[in-house]
Amino acid sequence: MSSFNRRQFGRLAGASAATLALPAVLRAQARPKVVVVGGGAGGTTVARYLAKDAGEAIDVTLIEDSDRFTTCFFSNLYLGGFRSFESITHGYDTLESNYGITKITGYATGVDRGKKHVVLRDGSTVPYDRLVLSPGIGFIWDSVPGYSEDAVDVAPHAYEAGPQTQLLKQKLDAITDGQQVVIVPPPNPYRCPPAPYERASMMAHLFKAKGVDAKVIIIDPKEKFSKQGLFLEGWEKYFPGMIEWYGPGVHGGIKGVDVAAGNVETDLDTFHGDLLNIIPAQKAGEIAAAAGLTDGTGFCPIEAASMRSAIDPAIYVIGDAAIAGDMPKSGFAANSQAKVAAMTIRGELTGSRVFPARYSNSCWSLIETDDGVKVGAQYVPTDGRITSTTSFISQTHEDPAVRKATFEESLGWYAGITADMFG
């Protein structure tokens, strides 16, 4: 007989206890199947934690269209020249080889919730006992009139990292003296609230470092934005006259874009960009609506204590696609939600212990070399809603040593979260 450790024993004992409480359909199966759709911060984490903690007791499948995944977080640092594209791109090999996760490379288009299977674009189906959707965002293309999916090669959104990010980088590198870039950030709610403003900082850094006399104009549909005081202070300090931000109080409203001409038209004026970076309004990734799991907001209502869909108890929705109360849409948040979902699912399927949900988020942004800032918060479910209990934000006028330490901490976090995701 092979040796037995305490954890394995607990797992088996728990499994037999749980069997009594499970529906017949699950009892009949040797191993319950969990299917995860989406290989980003949420999907990789939930798959890895299920496989790591449940061992052989759960069969875990990860469906993701790409072979390699480029993280949205730190993609602005690639634009600024602080990171290589390769250093923010990761493979799924370890999840397959070390954790026994089955990776299906394909695009999941829908879910037959009655038959409990996921439908792929090629028509094949993947059955599940529990499904986790972590599909990220989808775009509402016409939220900026004149912009469309066909325009992304000319005016990249670069808000899903990958070829779009590389395209934006190419176009930024081609900017010359006297030219300007116009960024149109999305309205709330959207992925990674400080990202458009960190991106403006990275663009200005790039121009300044190369000695290119170019400007960044931000035409914002919002009156205020994340870490606003910190960014405005940093722009004044490092990039005087290089970054201009206009909220609706000034521009009066965005009427549309002419991508071919490079114009953003507002009530106040027409702003010309030699490069346009249009980031449309957002909704849950396509499969969420196709599966009927979204509400009128375009995102997915969930149970705050577990990340279980409020619409289908066999499905969990995590990350940007979920309506997660006070939590922002971020890679850190998705990673945190994934751990609650993994624990709950494992409890349901194997009888392992389930603890009260805790959620957390931290978010670092880089303004200029060695000048990092951060925000963070803790959350618990309260009256059915994920509610912030404590939070912090970097202060203006901080000591440069503190900012440098914050930036270095962000490098450590990147190494940590990607190890937590990809193994």
Q: For binding to another protein (CB under 8 A), which residues are involved?
A: 10, 49, 332, 335-336, 339, 343, 353, 355, 358, 360, 362, 374, 376-378, 380, 389-392, 394, 408-409, 411-413, 415-417, 419-420
CB of 240 to another protein, least distance (A): 29
Q: What is the DSSP letter of 395?
A: P
Q: Which residue has the tokens 């409020």?
A: 310
Of 312 and 371, which CB lies nearer to another protein in the complex structure?
371
Q: Where are the alpha helices (DSSP H) in 266-393?
A: 286-290, 331-350
Which CB, 6 or 150, lies closer to another protein?
6
The least CB distance from residue 81 to another protein, in Å, is 20
Q: Using the minimum distance from each CB to another protein, give the nearer residue, 92 or 359.
A: 359
CA dist 150 to 44, 248, 272, 290, Å? 30, 27, 20, 22
Q: Please tell me the distance from the alpha carbon of residue 353 to that of residue 344, in angstroms, as a whole number.
A: 9
Cα distance between residue 182 and residue 280, in whole Å: 14
Amino acid at 140: I
By C-beta, is 269 or 392 nearer to another protein? 392
Decide: residue 207, CB within 10 A, 0-12 exposed, 13-18 middle, 19+ buried. buried
Q: Which of 261, 289, 270, 272 is nearest to 151 (CA)?
A: 261
Q: For another protein, give the closer residue by CB, 239 or 364.
A: 364
Phi, psi at 371, each rounded to 5° = -120, 85
Q: Which is nearer to another protein, 186 or 423 (CB)?
A: 423
Cβ 378 to another protein shortest distance, Å: 5
Report how far residue 181's alpha carbon sits from residue 175's, in angstroms, rounded to the nearest whole number.
Answer: 8
Is the CB of residue 285 less than 8 Å from the CB of residue 135? yes
- The Cα 221–Cα 280 span in angstroms is 11
Kindly state the smallest distance separating residue 353's Cβ from another protein, in Å: 6
Q: Which is nearer to another protein, 49 or 147 (CB)?
A: 49
**Cβ 87 to another protein shortest distance, Å:** 12
Check: CB of residue 181 under 8 Å from CB of residue 175: yes
Whole-number Å distance between alpha carbons of 350 and 372: 43
* Residues 252/212, Cβ–Cβ less than 8 Å: no
Please say which residue, 88 or 108, places its beta carbon nearer to another protein.
88
